[in-house]
Structure 1
């Protein structure tokens, strides 16, 4: 086998790769991870190779448009940016999140739902039922209260104020009320949600039911959906440092990174 092709030892079925491509690819990975142009010595160090070894790879990447050089620093080139934009266009947040909520439901033992912002507010679009005997019924298309649910509070904390006020006014429409501003208690609650990165509700809209929600952001740091664990109040751990919170936040960050969030 040539020095430019390699196969995983002990695994004859592993597909062959081009070793030199994988080695040079570490430079692109380092640039993407740092998110800024870098000097040759710094870039080489981050990629785990000597500058003299890194330089020929960079020359080839520049020719392809994957890397560009300016003022002695190397950054991602126009082809890298174009590939990134195309990749983002191919990612659908709900499609990415759906298998994750199935995993979370099994791992946490609670129903886990995906909510997106619809024309009437946070709306449930996917539900993974808990494997436990106690089920919390959630229907697709259910619109969640902004003030009374974890999903609603999460969106309210991250959406522009005018959209939140409009949704609150719509919620209050049946009673003839309008929303012109957020009350101080709700403002403080939303500030806390932004600070800890999670929203929760205990015995809110439905007595005996509690929930914890984590956000998913896109490449512009805009909230695109919530991952919400729902269950009996006696069983759901709402501690922001607890295992449910950690698993939700980890999943939310993973999906956000796939969407280009940094």
Structure 2
């Protein structure tokens, strides 16, 4: 009877222990997500306030993450993402056949058009730059790998949701659309949903000065075998070049996206 009672007590305690571990893991992920989303180092107090966690708990979790090199503590006391995450990311990137193939085509397109080229994906309600090749000229874009912006600000952002049902597209833009720095980005959810579907159908999306003044983006979708847009390839260049030679850049970026799809087996070789 005593042994039975002991087993029952242990079994009752196990779920509580698991919950504690899960809770600690959740707090760690909340801290990492907060730093990732804000893109800047922060102190324990600011992090605790942002994620709604007790200050004492936040400090304990931060210390554990620092000990494991998942975070680094800076001279000013703030913490930032650590080198262990970088090494994990490198291994993950090497395992992505898609990104490897897309990067080859991205660099080839960069040489052809002599402008900066990006591979972009979707991160919930944002577009994120996955890979980038800088153009050879003096023109430089403000975004870099890891940059996240609202979907409605970019040509790529519209394409990334273009395959979704209309109601879902509208819902996404209703909660995520924001005014851009130039105030030129469309914010009406229904209009954005229509533009997204049309852009995917035409395999081309162009934005001019919607995010940055005098900067344009010409993008084409990279669609998997089911037709879902999993990423985009885009040319980022000065506005006047798109106006002067729209067809050249449109044809080049479409051809690049089709090459990626074909090489990955997502498109018929004759298509």
Say whether the fold is shared (TM-score over 0.5).
yes
| Separation of aligned partners in 1, 2:231 and 2:129 | 10
After TM superposition, the structure 1 = structure 2 runs for residues 132-171 of structure 1, keeping only pairs within 5 Å, are 132-161=137-166, 164-171=169-176
| Separation of aligned partners in 2, 1:195 and 1:129 | 28
The superposition leaves residues 170-203 of structure 1 with CA deviations (integer Å, 9 ceiling, x where unpaired) of 53599xxxxxx96443344234313321011011
| Separation of aligned partners in 2, 1:102 and 1:154 | 21
Q: Choose which of 85, 102, 107 in structure 2 pairs with 1:102.
A: 107
Q: Report the counterpart of residue 223 of structure 1 in structure 2.
A: 229
Q: Does structure 2 conserve the Cα–Cα contact (< 8 Å) formed by 1:97 and 1:255?
A: yes
Q: CA deviation at 1:140?
A: 1.5
* Change in 2 beyond 3 A, CA 1:161/1:239: farther
After TM superposition, the structure 1 = structure 2 runs for residues 65-214 of structure 1, keeping only pairs within 5 Å, are 92-161=97-166, 164-171=169-176, 183-214=189-220
| Separation of aligned partners in 2, 1:102 and 1:234 | 23
Q: Does structure 2 conserve the Cα–Cα contact (< 8 Å) formed by 1:230 and 1:236?
A: no
Unaligned residue ranges in structure 1 (runs of 5+):
1-89, 175-180
Aligned to 1:157, what secondary structure does the other structure show?
A: coil
| Separation of aligned partners in 2, 1:192 and 1:167 | 17
Aligned to 2:136, what secondary structure does the other structure show?
A: coil
| Separation of aligned partners in 1, 2:98 and 2:136 | 24
| Separation of aligned partners in 2, 1:194 and 1:238 | 24
Unaligned residue ranges in structure 2 (runs of 5+):
1-94, 180-186
Pair 1:235 & 2:204 matched: no
TM-score (structure 1 length as normaliser): 0.56
Q: Report the counterpart of residue 76 of structure 2 in structure 1.
A: none
Aligned to 1:141, what secondary structure does the other structure show?
A: coil
Q: Does structure 2 conserve the Cα–Cα contact (< 8 Å) formed by 1:154 and 1:214?
A: yes
Q: CA RMSD in A?
A: 2.8
Q: CA deviation at 1:157?
A: 1.8
TM-score (structure 2 length as normaliser): 0.54
